[in-house]
Amino acid sequence: MMIMLAGSAPAVDQIRDQIRGLIAAGRLAANERLPSVRQLAKDLGVAPGTVAKAYKTLESEGYLHTRTGGGTRVSAAASATPQAVMDAARTLADTSIRSQIDLDEATRLLRAIWPSQS
Amino acid sequence: MGSMLFLAWLLFGSIILGVLAGVAWWLIRGRQHRLPSGAVAVTTAVAAGAALVADFLTRWMLGPSTMQLPRPDEVARWLIDVRFALPLLLGICAVIVLAFPLPAHTARGVADLSRRTLFSFGHRRWFGGVSVIVGAIIAVTVWAGMVSVPDEEGLWRLLVVDTGIGASFGTTMYGWYYSLPALALLAVLLAVALAELWLIARPAIGANQGDDVRMRRLRTRNILAVVSGSLLIHLGTVLSSLAGTAAMHGGTSVGEYGFATFGTSFAALQPVLQVAGLAVAALGYAFWTVVLLSSIPAGRTARALARA
């Protein structure tokens, strides 16, 4: 799950908007732990205060919650994707790539093993 | 000829078994864990290869006079004293070499939203395995240390068997004299490995995310394999030594014509300790071998093994 800084918009807004977008699209699961302020700031090449501000805004909007010692996580109410399903989907993607199975083939396999509704 | 083979087996049995097991595992499952050619593959080959060669030469130097690598007596005496710590020392050196080339950190305005910690690029079972081995080493060390008593020089490396009839006999064993430096080295080995895992995890994910993550996983795996190998060889050496200690027995005259023999309280464990020592050390060498083989870049493995 990558975020990228580009264009002239302030970095705080770009970070906030992209994380919000990933949560809304279900690509970040409920209770998924985000990187520390320090790590994300270092990776993006911005000041830690910039990331901290973006996190704070998302927290006040109900997308994230921060617990002492537990880091910053996606709020359970903000994402409809359960963490276990997201982890399993990522494992399926990783294993498929390693086994040289493309997205269409992986989807076909998933459909084939999916229990029928009847 | 037969006796030479037997001596060679006694000296190098665990290395031979370990290398064979490592190659077998590599042929069956390991080829998917090849490093791409480059600096990391070179340092990996140097680290694991040097550790294996150094350990082999040490064993050879400590062999019986009929098949011994020429060496000064002082070196042999020193090697006997450090033989328990040597696998850990070699492991520390190998892990330090594996740190190179140091992963670079370049911020480029792109970030992965996953947390990166010491444990991010390794399977839980790899870390669990190291923890189990460390637990076993500590348990054996504490037990042996508590059984040992000071010798005439005041060094805790003696096992004394009291016959209960006014006589006692003793032998050198893996007591605190040997185990405390080994435990200190074990702590250093773990600290160096954790520091290196942190160095691997810390930099931002590179432009080619898939390759970057794969390389970090392989490096993490190799570091943990070298650490596991060192710990297992150390534990195997300790178990083999304790097997020798368990085999000690002595006798004394009882009454006018009687003669009684005595053994250690754990004499019955001797065969188990002997086999366990061999198997555990062999597993350690297998780990080192697998790391060495991972440095053969893709495409060269089959040709290299065919030539070997």
pLDDT tens, B215-236? 999 999 999 999 999 999 999 9
pLDDT at B67 over 80: no
Chain B residues with CB-CB distance to A39 below 8 A:
115-116
**Cβ neighbours for B96, distance < 8 A, ≥ 6 positions apart:** B192
Q: Is B111 on the interface with A (CB under 8 A)?
A: yes
Three-state secondary-structure class, residue B121:
coil
Q: Is A113 on the interface with B (CB under 8 A)?
A: no
B122 or B8, which is more confident: B122
pLDDT at A81 over 90: no
Q: Is B115 on the interface with A (CB under 8 A)?
A: yes
Q: Is B199 on the interface with A (CB under 8 A)?
A: no
pLDDT exceeding 90 applies to what percent of chain B? 62
Q: Are B18 and B281 in contact (CB under 8 A)?
A: yes
pLDDT band at residue A58 under the 50/70/90 scheme: very high
**Nearest partner of B269 among B244, B246, B294, judged by Cα:** B246
For the ranges A3-17, A35-49, A68-82, B147-161, the lowest mean pLDDT is seen at A68-82
Backbone angles phi, psi at A73, to 5 degrees: -130, 160
Query: Which pLDDT score is estimated for B253?
Result: 80
* SS3 of B154-167: CCEEEEEEECCCCC
Task: Give the separation between CA A16 and CA B224, rounded to whole angstroms.
Answer: 37
pLDDT band at residue B304 under the 50/70/90 scheme: low
Cα within 13 Å of Cα(A103), Cβ side: 1
pLDDT at B161 over 70: yes
pTM of the model: 0.87
Encode pLDDT of B69-115 as tens digits. 777 888 888 888 899 999 999 999 999 999 999 887 776 788 988 88
**Nearest partner of B243 among B266, B270, B265, B276, judged by Cα:** B270
Chain B residues with CB-CB distance to A100 below 8 A:
none
Query: Which pLDDT score is estimated for B301?
Result: 52
Three-state secondary-structure class, residue A55:
helix
CB distance A35–B210 less than 8 Å? no
CB distance B204–A6 less than 8 Å? no
Summarize chain A as % helix, strand, coil (round to 5).
Answer: 55, 10, 35
Three-state secondary-structure class, residue B94:
helix
CB distance A1–B112 less than 8 Å? yes
Q: Is A89 on the interface with B (CB under 8 A)?
A: no
CB distance A2–B110 less than 8 Å? yes
Question: Between the CA atoms of B58, B60, B65 and B67, what dihedral angle is there, to the nearest 10 degrees?
Answer: -170
Q: How many CB pairs under 8 A join A and B?
A: 53
Q: Identify from B31, B113, B114, B200 which residue to disrupt to test chain A contact, counting A C-beta atoms within 10 A and taking the largest count.
A: B113
Query: Which pLDDT score is estimated for B303?
Result: 56
pLDDT at B171 over 70: yes
From A75's Cα to the closest Cα of chain B, the distance in A is: 15
Angle at Cα B35 formed by Cα B31 and Cα B37, nearest 5°? 120
Three-state secondary-structure class, residue B145:
helix
Residue B175 to residues A38, B171, B222, B232, B240, Cα–Cα distance (Å):
46, 11, 32, 19, 14
The label of the residue with tokens 């276990």 reads: A84
Strand order in the sheet with B149-150: B149-150, B156-162, B168-172
Residue A38 to residues A10, A42, A58, B203, Cα–Cα distance (Å):
18, 6, 17, 12
Bridge partners of B111, per DSSP, are A3
Task: Give the separation between CA B20 and CA B13, rounded to whole angstroms.
Answer: 11
Phi/psi class of residue A31: alpha, beta or left (left: φ > 0; alpha: ψ in -120 to 50)?
Answer: left
Considering CB atoms only, which of B32, B111, B209 is closest to A43?
A: B111
B282 or B165, which is more confident: B282
Q: Locate B52 and state its tokens.
A: 């294996």
Task: Give the separation between CA B128 and CA A102, rounded to whole angstroms.
Answer: 33
